[in-house]
Structures are given as structure tokens and as C-alpha cells.
Amino acid sequence: MAKTDLSTYDNNWYDPGAGFLKRTLWHFVNHLIFTHGFLPVSSLKILLLRMFGAKIGSGVNIKPSVNIKYPWLLEVGDYVWIGENVWIDNLAKVAIGNNVCLSQGAMLLTGNHNYKSPTFDLSVGEITLEEGVWIGARSVVSPNVFCFSHSILSVNSVATKDLEAYGIYQGNPAVKVKTRGISG
């Protein structure tokens, strides 16, 4: 039976862009300003993200202790809430629409590994969250997942497939449990 051999792992094909210097500088800014939570003010965080190439809309609220891998691969719409301890591990593009809520500890993971390969090859895939999506606390969105308008991923759930518009999903892997109704 074949075995995994991590000594042969090679992801030299992957290039997150922005160049070594910019990536290194972002690493320090992310660590000092974003992940430690010393600065609870969103406006400075938004300015820094924009300086590093992120597209950020208006009215965005970024709580303390948020970790963002590569801002130049991030698009955030208007009136988005990003809660404490959210991790946006964007090895590929992450697009977040208007009025999206990422609750505490949510994870957007654009990278994975091929467990069938002896070299455990890296694979990446984009994530899109359309308008009005809510990703619940401690939930995970996997690579190549598209969350359609106003879908919900419930607390501590894992989205491995697309979430249909206005669907409420729960579990690991997440399955649709009901349809979201919005009054008003």
C-alpha cells in the first residue's frame, strides 16, 4: 500500500503574488495590528488593507483578532461585519458581498491538500459569499464554495459544497435544514 511522503512535498507552482517584500511586510502588519487585537478601530485596519491591495467597501466593521492571509486577494463589499477571531486564509481570491456577517471564529479556507497523493499536493480554490450571507460562529467554508444570496451556515458547521440562496445549512458536512425567511 502506498504511503504519504512529505519529504517530496513541493508547492513551488503556487505564487500568491505581491512579491516577497510586500508579503513579508504584510506578515508583520497582520501580526501586530490584526491578529493581536491591540487596535479595535476598524478605520485604520481598512486603510491598511487597502494599502496592501484589498478592495474594501464602506461601513465595514472589523473586530479584534482577525487573521487575513493575503489582502491583495480579498474583496469586501459594503456594511460587512467581520467578528473576533475570524480567519480568512485566502490563498486564492475571497469575494465577500454587501451586508455579510462573519461571526466569531469563522474560517474561510481557500487551501487544502490532496490526501490521495503521496506528495500531499496543495490545492486552492476561490470562495464567494454573496449579499446577505451569514457564516455562523466557528463555522468553516471550504475551497471552491459559493454561498448564494442570504444563505446561512449555522454555528460550528462546515460548508464543503455550494449553499443555495436563502438556505439555512447545518452540520459537518453542512446540509440544508430549512429556508430563510426575512420579514419586513
Report all structural domains of the chain as residue ranges with CATH numbers, in order of start: 19-179 (2.160.10.10)
Cell of 36: 493581536
Residue-wise pLDDT for 141-167, tens only, equals: 999 999 999 999 999 999 999 999 999
97 pLDDT above the threshold of 80: yes
The per-residue pLDDT for 129 is: 98
As given in the structure block, the three cell numbers for residue 62 are 472589523
The pLDDT of residue 87 is 98
The rounded distance, in Å, linking the Cα atoms of 95 and 117 is 29
**C-alpha–C-alpha distance, residues 61 and 40, integer Å:** 10
> Which pTM value belongs to this model?
0.94
- pLDDT > 70: what percent of the chain? 100
Average of per-residue pLDDT across 81-97: 98
Helix, strand, coil % over all residues of the chain, rounded to 5 = 20, 30, 55
Mean pLDDT of 103-110: 98
Confidence of residue 22 (pLDDT cuts 50, 70, 90): very high
Q: Nearest-CA neighbor of 145 among 87, 104, 93?
A: 93
pLDDT in tens, 47-86: 999 999 999 999 999 999 999 999 999 999 999 999 999 9
Bridge partners (DSSP) listed for residue 113:
122
- pLDDT of 38 strictly over 90: no
